[in-house]
Chain A
Amino acid sequence: MSESVVRTRRWSRVEYDDLIEKHVFRSDERLELLGGELVVREPHGDPHTLAVELVNEALGAAFGPEWRIRVQLPVALDEESEPEPDLSVAPGRARDRREPKPSRLALVVEIADSSLAFDRAHKGSLYARARVADYWIVNLVDRVLEVYRDPGPDAAAPFGCAYRVVRRLSAEESIVPLAAPTARIAVADLLP
């Protein structure tokens, strides 16, 4: 039976933050607001958490002190989305406190095993709609890094936008972040 007969109530980011502030959610809940929907994040396995550490280390070295490397923290993506990407890179220093939840992201990285299809189609479309210029998926299933760039409209995508350039890089290759053009990260350093 199709779910399509039901229209669920969508939440704005302002409402979502209000729910958090009023302690509506349990403290052990891991949620993300994605396109107005409250989505539950699956618990992570060991390879996933290890990959988060590896990527964090590599990005810290590549971007340097003028960038914030944030691990599984909320980002103010758009009016109806507040995801918590595995890693996100934003300009500035955390102490500046101008933007507790950054909205201008230079790079978003998701680590994917069971969530691969979702991270590709759904989150990819959401990040493309928000014009995130550089989106990476550390694909633990195939042990490759997927690099998504050049976001643009795509009527077939879940949120109406998609990345037009997709590259799959294997362990022996390397990648230069768009926002850190002098740095080079070996894909092998990102894979557990």
Chain B
Amino acid sequence: MSEMPAKLRRWSRVEYDQLIDIGIFLPGDKVELLGGQLCVSEPQNSPHAAAICLAEEALRQAFAGGWSIRVQLPIALDQESEPEPDLTVVSGGPRDYLADHPTRPVLVVEVADSSLALDREHKGSLYARARLREYWIVNLVERVVEVYREPGPDATAFFGWAYRSIERLHAEQSVAPLAAPTTRVAVADLLP
């Protein structure tokens, strides 16, 4: 089917949370609110799941004490976005987010195979617009980790923002997270 040339109804995050509360979505109805649109997430294959486990382990070691590593849980990104990134690193413990989802993770990681274009162009622009300082894509297609930093305005990007610094790191390289500058995460530890 061709693209809908009409204006689609946009959802705010408040409305989206209301849809969840009144039980509109069925269990297994995997959706994320991205820039006002309810987007369907693709089912995960085993390399994707394995990469999430590896990243979780590596991030737990890098971010000791005072941080939480959350796996596929929602973040309150902006007024029209509530994505569920594969991994987010947030300050504090689980009870700090009892009333509301975290809004400002210090690091967001997506594991990408078939979703690579979506994670780069769409989510990348969305995270940049929300001024998230650091965004990684574990790129399973090319077996690299893409490190995105320095969000800034970019009229050609989907949501008007993009990351100005992009690094592609191979298996023999490592990366020091901005929020944990004294640690190093080996790219090899992130790749399945």
Interface residues of A (CB under 8 A from B): 1, 3-9, 15, 18-19, 22, 24, 29, 31, 34-35, 37-40, 42, 117-118, 121-122, 158-160
Closest CB in chain A relative to B123 CB, distance in Å: 10
Given A9-B31, A38-B9, A40-B8, is A4 in contact with B3 using a C-beta cutoff of 8 Å? yes
Q: Which of A6, A15, A18, A118 contacts B5 (CB 8 A)?
A: A118
Known: A6-B37, A40-B6. A35 touches B1 (CB 8 A): yes
11 new A-B contacts, CB < 8 A, other than A4-B3, A6-B122, are: A1-B121, A3-B3, A5-B121, A6-B118, A8-B37, A9-B38, A9-B39, A34-B6, A37-B8, A39-B9, A118-B6
The one of A7, A37, A122 in contact with B39, judged by C-beta atoms closer than 8 angstroms, is A7
Q: Report the Cα distance A39→B7, complex, angstroms.
A: 6
Within 8 A of A (CB), among B114-168: 117-118, 121-122, 156-158
Which residues of B14-66 are within 8 A (CB) of A?
15, 18-19, 22, 24, 29, 31, 34, 37-40
Task: Kindly list chain A residues whose C-beta atoms are within 8 Å of the C-beta of B7.
Answer: 39-40, 42
Measured between beta carbons, the chain B residues less than 8 angstroms from A38 are: 8-9
Pairwise interchain contact B15-A24, C-beta atoms closer than 8 A: yes
Return the contact of A34 from the options B2, B4, B29, B37 (Cβ within 8 A): B4
Which of B9, B22, B157 has the most A CB atoms < 10 Å from its CB? B9
B6 pairs with A39, CB closer than 8 A: yes
Q: How many Å from the CB of B113 to the closest CB on chain A? A: 13
Q: How far is the CA of A9 from the CA of B38 in the complex (A)?
A: 5
Contacts of A159 in B (CB 8 A): 1
Interface size on B, residues (CB 8 A): 28
Contact of A7 among B2, B4, B29, B40 (CB under 8 A): B40
In angstroms, Cα B2 to Cα A117, docked, is 14
> Known interface pairs A18-B24, A24-B18. Does A6 touch B1 (Cβ–Cβ under 8 Å)?
no
Contact A8 B1 (CB under 8 A): no
Q: Closest approach, in angstroms, between the C-beta of A24 and any C-beta of chain B?
A: 7
Q: A8-B39, A9-B38, A31-B9 are in contact. Are A122 and B4 (CB under 8 A)?
A: yes
CA distance A158 to B118 in the complex (A): 23
Q: Is the CB of A117 within 8 A of B5?
A: yes
Give chain B nearest CB distance to A66 CB in angstroms.
34
Q: Is A8 touching B6 in the complex (CB atoms < 8 A)? A: no
